Chain A
Amino acid sequence: MNRLSLLSRKPWTWSFVAALATWIVTILFTGGASTASLTQATLTFAAFSVIVGLGQMLVITLGPGNVDLSVPATITLSGTVALKLMDGQDGMILAGLAVSIAIGLAIGIVNYAMIKFLRIPPIIATLSMSFLVQSTAIWYNRGLRVKPPEELASFTTSSTFGVPNTALVALLLSLAVWWLLDRAIFGRWISAIGQNAFSARMAGIAVDGCRLATYVLCAVLASVCGYLLASFSGGAALNMGAEYLLMSIAVVVIGGSAVAGGNSNVPGIWGASLFMFLVVSMLNTYGFGAGVRLIMTGLIIICVIVAASRPAGSAR
C-alpha cells in the first residue's frame, strides 16, 4: 500500500498506466492475435522517440523558453550524410556513426552560439538553424536513396532475446542519461539552472558551459537517432525527421517532466513514447484516419499539460 502510494506520486507513473491501458484495449480489439507483433513494433518505434525525447528533455530541463526545434532537421541530415558516406559498405559503419555524432556536435554548438551571442530566443534560433540544416540535407541528398550497410540494416531490424535491438540501444542511452541527470553533478547543475538561472550563476555554476553541453547532447542524440532510423528504414528520406519535432516535445510533457524546467525524469520518456505509438496503432486498429489521430494526439498533449498544472499564483 505504502509502496503503491509512493509510486503514484512519481510523475511518470501515469504515462505507463496510460500505455498499458492502450495496449490492453488494442489487444482486446484484435482478440489477442497480434500481441507479439504489436509489442515488437511498439518497442521498435518507441525506441526512436525515446532517443530524441531524451535530448529534448535535457534541453527543456534548462528552464522556460529552452527547446530545440532543430531536432527533425538534424535527424534528416545525419541520416542522409551517414548513409551516403557508408555507401552500403559494412566496413564504414563506425565511420558513419562518427560522422553522425560530429554533425550533432556541430549543430549543437552553432545552436547555442546563436542563442548566446546573437541573443536569439532558443525557439527561433533552433528553428532558423533547422532550415539551414534541412536545406543542407536536401542539397546533399539530391534525391538519391542509398541503402544502409547490410550488417547495420540487419542489426537495426532484428532482435536479441526477443527485444528489438533499437530498443536495447535506446535503453543503454536512457541509462546513460539517467545517470547523468539523477546521479551526476551535471544533472544537479542543469536542474539548478532550470529552476533559477540567476541563483545557479550566483552559486558558482558555469551556466553557459552547462547550457552548451546540453544543446550539444540533444543534437548528438538526435543525430544518433537519425543514423539508426535511416538504417532501420532502409535509407534516408528528406521528411524522415518531420514527425519527431512535435513528438520529442510531446513525450517530455506526457512523461511528467516539468515544462517550466528544473525537474525531469527518464522513465517518463519511455512511458510516453510507448503510449504515443500505442495510441496511433489503437486508432489504426479501430479504423480511424489521420485526422482523428492528429486530433487525439493534440488533445492528449493539452490534457496532460493541463492536468499537470496548478492554478496561477498557487506556486508561491
Chain B
Amino acid sequence: MRKTVSGLLPILIPAVSLAVLLAAVFYMQPRAMSYTGLNLLFNLAVPIALATIAQMIIMAVNDLDLSIGTFVSFAACVTAVYMPNQPLVAILILAGAVGIYALLGIVITLRDLPSIVVTLGMSFVWGGLAVLILPAPGGQAPVWLRALMVSKPPLVPMAIVASVVIAVLAHLLIMRSTFGVLLRGVGGNSRSVARAGWSVLALKGAAYATAGIFAVLSGMALVGLTTSADANIALRYTLLSIAGVILGGGEFVGGKVSPIGAVIGALTLTLAGSFLSFLRISPDWQIGAQGGILIIVLALRLVINRRSPQEKTS
C-alpha cells in the first residue's frame, strides 16, 4: 500500500499540473484543441525533453550540469554546419564531445571536484567552440532530420509521439535496466555501490557520457525544428532542464529521479511559455514569469512533501 502511494505521488503531481495548465490553455484558446494546435503548443518540447533527460541523468549521480545549455547550442551548431554535407565529420565531432563528457565525469569523481564549477568552466568552452564553428547564425538542417521532426503521424502530433518515446526509452534505461539501478545507486549511496564491487568511477563516466548523448540528440532535434542554428540558440536549456527535472519530482541529491516525470516537466515548461503569451503578459515579464513559476512550483513541492508522513531526514 505504502509502496504504491509513494511510488505514484512524484509522477502524479507533475501530471496533474500539466493537465491543469493544458485545460487553462484550451479554455483561453479553444482552437488549440486540435492536431495542429497541439503541434504548435508542444513544438519545441522534444529538444527540451531530451535536454531535461540529460540533466536528470547527471542529477541522478548527485551532480549538476550548468553547461547543458551551451553544450546543446554547440551540438546544434555542429549539426547545422557539418551534418548536411559532411555527416562523418559531424558524427566524429559529436562522438568526441560525448567522450569529453565521459572524461569530465571521470575527472570530477577522481579529483572529487564540484561539478558546478567544472561544468561552469565547460560552458565557456562549449560556448567558445560554438562561436568558432558558427560565428554568425546560419547553417541548415539535414533533410532527413527535418523530415523526421516535421513528420505528421496520424492522430497524434509528432511532438507528443516523440515525447512519449523519449519518456519510455529513458524510463527503461534509468528505472528498469541494471545500468539505471547502478546510476541511481551511486546517487543514493555511492559507498555501498563501491562495496558491492562496482566501479563508481566507471559509472560516473558512463552517466556523463549518457547525458552527453541525450544532450547531442537535443541539439540535433532543435536544428531539425528550427532549420538553422546559432551559438546562443539553447542557452535557456540549462535552467529549463534543471527546472524540468525538479518539476517532474526529481531531487537534487539522493538519486531520486523520474524520467517520465522529467519529460512531463519539460512539456509543462514548454506549455507555460505558450500559456504566458496567451495571457498577453508583456514580453518584459516573460523571463520574470518563468522565475516566478519555478519558485511557485518549488514552494508547492515543499508543501506537498511536508504533508507526506515519511521523509523526516535531517
The answer on direct contact between A and B (beta carbons under 8 Å) is yes
Q: A94 CA to B113 CA in the complex, in Å?
A: 44
Tell me which residues across on chain B come within 8 A of A95, comparing CB atoms: none
A residues in contact (CB < 8 Å) with B: 64, 67, 114, 118-121, 123-125, 127-132, 134-136, 138-139, 246, 249-250, 253, 259-260, 289-302, 305-306, 309-313, 315
Contacts of B118 in A (CB 8 A): 302, 305
Q: In the complex, what residue of chain B is closest to A294 when comparing beta carbons?
A: B128
CB 8 Å contact bits of B261-296 with A (1 = contact, 0 = none): 000000000000000000000101111111110110
User: Are B129 and A295 touching (Cβ within 8 A)?
Assistant: yes
By a CB distance below 8 angstroms, the chain A residues around B295 are 114, 118, 120, 125, 128
* Complex contacts, B292 vs chain A, CB 8 Å: 128, 131-132
Decide if B298 touches A118 in the complex (CB within 8 Å): yes
Residues on A with C-beta less than 8 A from B114 are 64, 259-260, 305
Given A124-B298, A305-B113, A315-B112, are A246 and B124 neighbors across the interface (CB < 8 Å)?
Answer: yes
Residue of A nearest to B114 (CB): A259
Pick the contact of A292 from B111, B128, B287 — CB < 8 Å? B128
Contact across chains for A298 and B121 when beta carbons are under 8 A apart: yes
The answer to the question of B25 belonging to the interface, with a C-beta cut-off of 8 Å to chain A, is no
Nearest chain A residue, comparing its CB with the CB of B126: A298
Q: Which residue from B107, B120, B242, B243 sits with its C-beta under 8 Å from A306?
A: B107
Whether the pair B113, A309 counts as a contact (CB closer than 8 A) is: yes
- Rounded to whole Å, the gap between the CB of A306 and the closest CB of chain B is 6
Q: How far is the CB of A248 from chain B (nearest CB, A)?
A: 11
Interchain CA distance A154-B114 in the complex, whole Å:
42
With a cutoff of 8 Å between Cβ atoms, the chain A residues found around residue B112 in the complex are 309-313, 315
A312 touches B110 (CB 8 A): yes
Please, how many angstroms separate the alpha-carbon atoms of A291 and B287 in the complex? 27
Listed from nearest, the 3 A-B pairs whose CB atoms lie closest are A135-B288, A131-B291, A298-B124
**Does A67 contact B291, Cβ atoms closer than 8 Å?**
no
The interface on chain B, measured as residues whose beta carbon lies within 8 A of the other chain's beta carbons, has a size of: 45
B284–A67 touching, CB < 8 Å? no
Q: Which residues of B contact A310 (CB under 8 A)?
A: 111-112
- Which residues of chain B have C-beta atoms less than 8 A from A132's C-beta? 288, 291-292
Task: Check A135–B124 contact: CB distance below 8 A.
Answer: no
Q: Are A139 and B131 in touch, CB under 8 angstroms?
A: no
Complex contact B287–A135 (CB within 8 A): yes
Determine how close the nearest CB of chain B comes to the CB of A247; give it in whole angstroms.
Answer: 10
CB of B122 within 8 Å of the partner chain: yes
Complex contact B124–A297 (CB within 8 A): yes
Bound Cα distance from A306 to B108, whole angstroms: 9
Determine the residue in chain B with the shortest Cβ distance to A260. Answer: B114
Q: Which residues of A contact B246 (CB under 8 A)?
A: 124
CB contact between A289 and one of B124, B131, B239, B299 (< 8 Å): that residue: B131
Can you name 4 extra interface pairs (CB under 8 A) apart from A135-B284, A306-B111? A132-B288, A294-B127, A305-B121, A309-B111
B99 to nearest A CB, angstroms? Answer: 16
Partner of B120 from the list A139, A246, A260 (CB cut-off 8 Å) is A246
A121→B64 CA distance, assembly (Å): 12
Collect the chain A residues with CB atoms within 8 Å of residue B294's CB. 124, 128, 131
Contact of B286 among A135, A250, A260 (CB under 8 A): A135
CB distance from B138 to the nearest CB of A (A): 15
**Complex contacts, B302 vs chain A, CB 8 Å:** 118-119
Q: Is B17 an interface residue (CB 8 A)?
A: no
B162 contacts partner chain A, Cβ-Cβ < 8 Å: no
Give the distance in Å from the alpha carbon of A295 to the alpha carbon of B299 in the complex. Answer: 37
The distance from the CB of A305 to the nearest CB of chain B, in whole angstroms, is 5
Does A291 lie within 8 Å of B135, measured CB to CB? yes
Of all chain B residues, the one with the shortest Cβ separation from A70 is B291
Specify which chain B residues have a CB less than 8 angstroms from the CB of A250 in the assembled complex. 120-121
Q: What's the nearest-Cβ distance from chain B to residue A245, in Å?
A: 9
Q: Is the CB of B124 within 8 A of A291?
A: no
Alpha-carbon distance between A249 and B127 when the two chains are bound, in angstroms:
17
Q: Contact: A249 with B291, CB < 8 Å? A: no
B227 interface residue per 8 A CB criterion: no
Q: How distant is B136 from chain A, measured CB to nearest CB, in Å?
A: 12
Contacts of B111 in A (CB 8 A): 306, 309-312
A246-B120, A301-B120 known; A290+B107 contact, CB < 8 A: no
In angstroms, Cα B116 to Cα A240, docked, is 24
For B122, give its contact among A118, A121, A135, A298 (CB under 8 Å): A298
Asked, given contacts A311-B111, A312-B109, whether A299 binds B125 with beta carbons under 8 Å apart, the answer is yes
- B282 interface neighbour in A139, A259, A260, A309, Cβ under 8 Å: A139
Tell me, yes or no, whether B55 is within 8 Å of chain A by CB: no
In Å, the complex CA distance between A114 and B295 comes to 8
Residue of B nearest to A297 (CB): B124
User: Among B120, B239, B242, B243, which residue has its beta carbon within 8 angstroms of that of A249?
Assistant: B120
The listed residue with most B CB atoms (<10 A of its CB), out of A64, A134, A135, is A135
User: What are some 11 contacts across the A-B interface (CB < 8 A)?
Assistant: A121-B252, A128-B292, A131-B291, A131-B292, A132-B291, A259-B113, A295-B132, A297-B121, A298-B128, A302-B118, A311-B110
